[in-house]
Amino acid sequence: MKHLLLGCIICFVFRYYPAEAQSDKHLNIIHNFIALVQKNDAQAIAAAVKYPFQRKYPLAAILNKEEFVENYPLIFDDALRNKIINSSADKNWESVNQYRLTLENGLLWLDHKGRIKRINYLPKKAQKYYQKLLRQDKQTLHKSVQKYWEPVLSWTSDQYKIRIDKESPYSYRLTLWPSNKSLESSPSIIIGGGQKEYEGIRGHQHFIFRQDNKVYSCKITKTERYPEKMFLIQDQDAVSYSTIIP
């Protein structure tokens, strides 16, 4: 019982330990970024983005500066700009670790070089387009999995078509089809109640699903250039890896 209690305390401390205090380097990055956004120069902001710039699925990732400038009104609006410009480096920003800075608990993320890594915000123009894509997305799926709270990812591997959707804000559903089947066909596997975990200081993502003594995992490993994707199935005897097709 004592060991169990100690383990719970340790987990609590690591999970809820406060973010790091701002260093002089981080303060300079934040102040420079605020000044950059204040100018509202799409070209200059596009030059301060880490590519590929991932967006909320099913919005496509932005691969280069030219695409970012073209989509600038769908990424930045006055509301987001004002949120950034009026933010306080001490009060509204946090240093999660040596690799990441975040505004308002995840609204926007910068890396250790001051480049934009992620924006968890959609302007009104983008919201309309996003809802249109959601309607189209659901029509591509078998009726048994058309209901979801939010789509997360859709991969194709050498063995499977892989789909993860949110069932609720904190629960995920995995759907698998044979790689030669359409998403409109009946899935071979549907597993609900999955969880998302983060690993390492870079925030690698790990989706975990359990069924019939097997563990199904989708891993997204953050690298300096492109995220590496992996799908694996583990049982008591072996681990089966499936290669993700770009």
pLDDT at 197 exceeding the cut of 60: yes
Which two structure tokens, joined as six digits, stand for 33? 């970024």
Q: What's the whole-number mean pLDDT along residues 65-76? A: 97
* pLDDT beyond 70 at 10: no
pLDDT at 15: 38
pTM, rounded to two decimals: 0.79
Residue located via tokens 């926007």: 108
Closest CA to 176 of 72, 167, 165, 168: 165
Least confident interval from 14-18, 57-61, 120-124: 14-18
Phi, psi of 163 (to 5 degrees): -135, 135
